Amino acid sequence: MLKRVLHTANQVVTHEETHTGTRELTIENTVNDNVDMLTVTGDSWQLAQEEIKDEDGNVTQPAMPSTEYPSEIISVNGEMISTNDRLDGRDKLRGNSIILPTLRSLPLPKEWKDMLYVDRKNQRAWVERKIGETVLDGSETWKIYYKNNAICAYEVIINNAKNNWYGGILYCSHFKSVYGQYIYKGTFTGSKFGIVQDKRCMFCSDDITGIFESIDTFKAFLSEHPVTVQYGLIDPIIEELPYADYLLETAQYQTNIRMTGLNENLQPEIKVQCKILGG
């Protein structure tokens, strides 16, 4: 908790506190003002499941994500709303909302996530992007990483993409992620994707028929079914935002902050530093 004594224009004594919450936050004894510092962490989610068959061999649950059953990658966006719900005759309704930029994360490592910052002291709002996203549609330059009569791997360069040699789990709409070292060694099963070395993104399979029969058949698949991939960035990107669009208000006596339009599986953390009544 950061605490320092302040005096507003009407000489009401206040101090600053920092409060954190997931998806929503209620702060007591606030004043009519603006938030001094706001941070929001990125979060992403994807429906992922293994194939299940019944005793007769019929598929009762398809594997996802897969080329046949893609799975959408969902990330933080929507609105953040600040309201005062204590209307007891003396309180005046106060509040506003801001439109959140898309904020992503990866399953592992946990520190791979975007961050929104709104800094009142320096009148600045920005996103530190640690997660990149690329949609592959077959127009890229592809080449064979390796191919024999059992397995193959096709390679495309994605600038600023960080490798997941070991310990990084990535997102892809049509393929499951595998550590880059397994692609390098050829020790994988099924159709997977990973980043073997920085910028070198690989799609591999132990079935060299169908879409993996050749680079041309693979690119044709991408043309008809564009594939979205999300990955860590070698160098984070700072995206400046218009500060005035991200000012979040606080209200007299109580401030309620919540996100709307957010998928129920997303759990972004909100951190608010603001003025509180009392010395």
Mean pLDDT of 127-136: 98
All residues at 6 or more sequence positions from 230 whose CB lies less than 8 Å from its CB, including other chains:
44, 73, 104, 106, 131, 132, 133, 170, 171, 172
Q: For 55, which DSSP code?
A: T
Residues 94 and 24 in one domain: yes
pLDDT in tens, 48-88: 888 788 788 887 788 889 999 999 999 999 999 998 865 55
Please give the pLDDT value at position 93.
59
Residues 35 and 61 in one domain: yes
Residues 32 and 122 in one domain: yes
Residues 156 and 258 in one domain: no
Residues 20 and 111 in one domain: yes
Q: For 246, which DSSP code?
A: G
Please give the pLDDT value at position 87.
54
Residues 166 and 218 in one domain: yes
In a domain, 153, yes or no: yes
CA dist list (Å): 22 to 43, 46, 116, 186:
11, 19, 14, 41
Mean pLDDT of 2-29: 77
DSSP three-state, residue 173: coil
Please give the pLDDT value at position 85.
65
In a domain, 97, yes or no: yes
Residues 143 and 207 in one domain: yes
Mean pLDDT of 183-212: 96
Which residue shows structure tokens 């996103």? 127
Number of domains in the chain: 2
Residues 78 and 15 in one domain: yes
Residues 11 and 50 in one domain: yes
Please give the pLDDT value at position 92.
53
Residues 87 and 125 in one domain: yes
All residues at 6 or more sequence positions from 133 whose CB lies less than 8 Å from its CB, including other chains:
104, 228, 229, 230
- pTM value is 0.88
In a domain, 230, yes or no: no
DSSP for 173-224, please give it: SSSEE--HHHHHHT---SEEEEEEETTEEEEEES--SGGGS-HHHHHHHHHH
Residues 147 and 261 in one domain: no
Mean pLDDT of 19-37: 94
In a domain, 233, yes or no: no
Query: How many CA within 13 A on the CB side of residue 22?
Result: 5
CA gap 19, 151 in Å, rounded: 52
Residues 149 and 124 in one domain: no
DSSP three-state, residue 250: strand
pLDDT in tens, 87-122: 555 555 567 899 999 999 998 888 899 999 999 999
Please give the pLDDT value at position 3.
44
In a domain, 231, yes or no: no
Range of the domain at 27: 5-131+238-277
